[in-house]
Amino acid sequence: EVKLLESGGGLVQPGGSMRLSCAASGFTFTDFYMNWIRQPAGKAPEWLGFIRNKANGYTTEYNPSVKGRFTISRDNTQNMLYLQMNTLRAEDTATYYCARRWTTGPFDYWGQGVMVTVSS
């Protein structure tokens, strides 16, 4: 069974940093592109970026809305995905999901999400 479990969320002050983690199980982690997607309360999801699979060199792509502030990485020995978020703003407040997909196509499995609140 495919499982994705996010952790590391909570309250952070504006300008602060936070790292989210996503533990993956039930599939061959290195075969998949891994994504971060966020969703403010009551709004649509927003794709943040992905890290490619082994065949494509684990390179990254980002939404311009977060490029330069957010960094995606993965530990393939531990089947872990990470999102490092810096210089956080109030508008970064959202539920953050990790999601997997093949080299292209839809996000076929999502984690349960983790809340991040940026507030003083």
Partner 1 sequence: DIVLTQSPATLSVTPGESVSLSCRASQGISTSIHWYQQKSNESPRLLIKYASQSISGIPSRFSGSGSGTDFTLSINRVESEDFSVYYCQQSYSLPRTFGAGTKLELK
Give residues in contact with partner 1 (CB under 8 A): 43-47, 61-65, 97, 101, 104-108, 110-113
Choice between 60 and 86, CB closer to partner 1: 60
Query: What is the Cα–Cα distance from 84 to 114, expressed in whole angstroms?
Result: 14
Question: Which of 69/101 has CB closer to partner 1?
Answer: 101
- Cβ at position 111, least distance to partner 1 in Å: 7
Q: How far is the CB of 110 from partner 1 (least distance, A)?
A: 4
Q: Beta strand pairing status for 18-25 and 3-7?
A: antiparallel
Question: What tokens were used for 26?
Answer: 């039930």
Q: How far is the CB of 79 from partner 1 (least distance, A)?
A: 19
Give the nearer residue to partner 1 in terms of CB position, either 14 or 85. Answer: 85
Beta strands in 1-120 (DSSP E): 3-7, 10-12, 18-25, 33-39, 46-51, 60-62, 70-75, 80-85, 94-101, 109-110, 114-118
